[in-house]
Structure 1
Amino acid sequence: MPSVDALTLSAIGIGTACGVGVAGWCALLGARRRSVGFQAVVVALAVVAAVGAGVLVAASQMFINGEDLAALLVILPAAGTVGIVAALALGHHVGTASRSLAGLLRRLEDDGAPGEWGGPSNGSGELAGLARELAATQARLAESRARTQAVEASRRELVAWVSHDLRTPLSAIRAMIEALEDGVADDAETVARYHRTVRLETERLARLVDELFELSRIGAHTLRLSLEPASLSDLVSDALAATRPAAEAKAIGLSGRVLGPGPSIELSTPEFGRALRNLLDNAVRHTPPGGQVTIESGYEASSATVSVIDSCGGIPAEELERVFEVAYRGDAARGRDGGAGAGLGLAIARGLIEAQGGVIAVHNEGAGCVFTVRMPLGRDALDVRSSRGTSRGRAPAGSQRR
């Protein structure tokens, strides 16, 4: 074929294709809200029309003889029919996958719970990827909803416990004040006892309010921490001194062990000391008279550790994960102390420790349980430990426990 004829045929093909393409594009714009199958049929028809128009124009210019034109006019409708059927099948396939995704979205909106089916199994790669993202979103929403429900249940439990802990001392205070006002209690010994009881109950209420305020600051992330170098052994000694009167009142042995010297660590001393006191108070509260509470401090490779070991009888395995929840009090076996507070001490301890970059954990051991606090050592502290060689031959905190 001469090059001039080839160029002419190319121009005819390009021209007819552009003309039909513009018409097809306008048709697609008008059908943009129709189904994918309908749009696929429009595309198939546009392709067949472009080829047919090119053939007719070429035939009119005598590039195609009559017999070839007749053959093409038979082939094109047949090919177009097959193309339309294929487009309809493709549209049905995509429509089924999209309806499956719509069902997944409806389930996501209804309950956020992950279903057994995660999306179209025979869809395109893009639809399958979208289905996987939706399934992952479903799982995240379900997890978030479960956490929200757990927090709400914990909040209701906290309100119930705090209401009880407020009502009980207030009722006692009101009864004693009414007795004093009515002259029912008129002897000096009874009056003095009532005064002592009112003072103790008032202090208990003040502690509860203080705990609630501290917990609200932790939850709102408004703690103002002032980190400074602190001696771990000094903090342990201060916590022991603050807890000793309560331990002696219950005839509980209270001791401390420092497993070797170490560098000072960056802490907010008041908050860390309060966390240690909360852990010791919890141990003393749940340890029976005659029991033993021990606090150990030491150093591991990159952290300072403090462990509080009690003889409370242990915590049920299914409740170990809940002991740091707000308002958790445990079962009756651990609730030996009737004035055991609203279950805020351990939640506050965890919040204060985690606010300083530490972690706290609990596990059963022997006749009781062990609460372990780990605080990270800074680079300077690690250099000091390396120069002193304190990591060599040093047993981690708690390795010498019974």
Structure 2
Amino acid sequence: MLGLPQLLLITGTTFAATALLTCGTLLTLHGSRRRSVSFRAVLVLCGALLSVIVSTIAVAAEMYLSDHDVLVLGWVIGISAVMSIAATWIVTGRSARASVAALIGDTRRVGAGDVVGPVATGWREFDDVSAELAETSQRLAAARAQIVELDAARQQFFAWISHDLRTPLAGMAAMAEALEAGTAPDPAVYLQALRSKVDTVARMVDDLFELSKLQSGTLELHREPVVLLDLVSDAVADVRLVAESRRVTVTQENVDGHLLWADPRELTRAIGNLLANSLRYAPDDSTILIRADTIGESQLVLSVIDQGVGVAAENLGRMFDVGWRADPSRSSGPANGTPGAGLGLAIVRGIVEAHGGSVRARHSAAGFHLDLLLPVADRG
């Protein structure tokens, strides 16, 4: 049985040999940071095996084994170590190189815009990277598709807004030329029409400015306690003349008795835009209903309901997008005027969301709804 001195000698020799070779391995790894994974893996294996070999031979020599026994032990351990290193280099190195090459190829494909799938490499870490790369490629593809869609919508929007601005401007130029040349049959009527077109252009420019503030997050709300009935009454007053010209009746239901914490100017604008949209598409001699309903104690639903055909179900979620225009079933006829540039409902959504609410469009037995879902308990 070994005594304490022998155990201390074995422990000290093993520790010293292992520490020395480990430090050497770490220094070598530091100097080979740009080498391949397989090379560094084999390097670590070599360091570990050398530690075992040197420690074993040193301890065997200290234990007064014969030279023959030490030599045999050295050959056995050495041959085993060389074969282990070779096997590691062949099996592990080849597998690691193939896995890295596959990941590099997938990365290049993702950079070129392709969508890749996860690859099973047999290495858990590489498999995790491959799965993350596949998920990232799918997210990038979705983002690229969204960018293409948004860019197309932006181009279409600019084409529409340019057309909608050009139309009244061309009319204004023609009327101004007629007045200047003295060929206008009734100058007073021409001046009134000119004033109307100036107001139209001014409203469009104002809408563009409002939308830019909403999209940039620079809209400042000045909230105060406001009575919903007052907001609705102001919005109805703004469209009364147009409604009367088309014999459209605007009625109210359950609007009284509701108090909101809101910016009265902005929220009146949102309600007015809803009314203007419903009035544009409501049939002549019909009724537009403004109704308020509560959901629990924290939310109010303000609905503007017209008797028009509404829009197709697949377009309900797009009605409040910037630049969206009605499908043919919702398009205005000659009696209804020309459609706007797709800004009104987008402004409505921006104002309502700035108040912490949301918007929606839906069909019901009562007609076509444009709903504002507003918080009533927010005092932010």
Label 1:168 to 1:260 Cα distance change in 2 as closer, same or farther (>3 A).
Answer: closer
Contact 2:302 2:372 in 1 (8 A): yes
Please name the residue that 1:394 is paired with: none
Summarize deviations over 1:40-93 as a string: whole Å, max 9, x none: 111222222222222333344353334543442343134211244135423333
Partner of 2:145: 146
Shift of residue 332, structure 1, vs aligned partner: 2.8
Deviates more, 1:205-214 or 1:76-85: 76-85
Match of 2:157 in 1: 158
C-alpha separation in 1, matches of 2:127 and 2:226: 55
With 345-354 and 361-370 compared, the bigger mean Cα shift is at 361-370
Q: 2:6 is matched with which residue?
A: 5
- Structure 1 residue 259 displacement after superposition: 6.1
Instruction: Work out the CA distance in 1 between the residues paired with 2:219 and 2:44.
Output: 64
C-alpha displacement at 1:121, in angstroms? 5.2
Deviations 1:253-311 (A, max 9, x none): 2211116734x221111101100000010000011222321110121112011011112
Contact 1:272/1:352 (8 A) holds in 2: yes
What secondary structure, in the 3-state scheme, does the structure 2 residue paired with 1:333 have?
helix
Return the TM-score normalized by structure 1: 0.85
CA distance in 1 between partners of 2:96 and 2:118 (Å)? 16
- The two structures have a TM-score, normalised by structure 2, of 0.89
Contact conserved, 2:118 with 2:127, CA < 8 A, in 1? no
Alignment of 1:2-401 (within 5 A): 2-66=3-67, 68-80=69-81, 81-111=83-113, 114-115=115-116, 117-120=117-120, 122-124=122-124, 126-185=125-184, 187=185, 190-258=186-254, 261-262=257-258, 264-301=259-296, 302-336=298-332, 337-366=336-365, 368-378=367-377
Distance of aligned partners of 1:175 and 1:351 in 2 relative to their CA distance in 1, 3 Å threshold: same
Q: CA deviation at 1:225?
A: 0.6
Alignment root-mean-square deviation, CA? 2.4
Unaligned 5+ segments in structure 1 are 381-402
What amino acid sits opposite 2:99 in the alignment?
A: A
Query: Is contact 1:40-1:88 (8 Å) kept?
Result: no
Q: What per-residue deviation string (whole Å, max 9, x for no partner) do you get for residues 144-175 of structure 1?
A: 33333333222212211111011111111111
Query: Alpha-carbon deviations, 1:301-329, whole Å to 9, x = none?
Result: 12011011112212112221211111111
Task: In structure 2, list runs of 5 or more residues that go unmatched.
Answer: none
Cα 1:338–1:92 change in 2 (3 A) is: farther
What secondary structure sits across from 1:265 in the alignment? strand
Residue 298 of structure 1 aligns with an amino acid whose one-letter code is: D
Overall identity of the aligned pairs, in %: 33
SS in structure 2 at match of 1:295: strand
Shift of 1:221: 1.1
List structure 1 segments (4+ residues) > 4 angstroms apart after TM superposition. Answer: none
**How many residue pairs were aligned?**
373
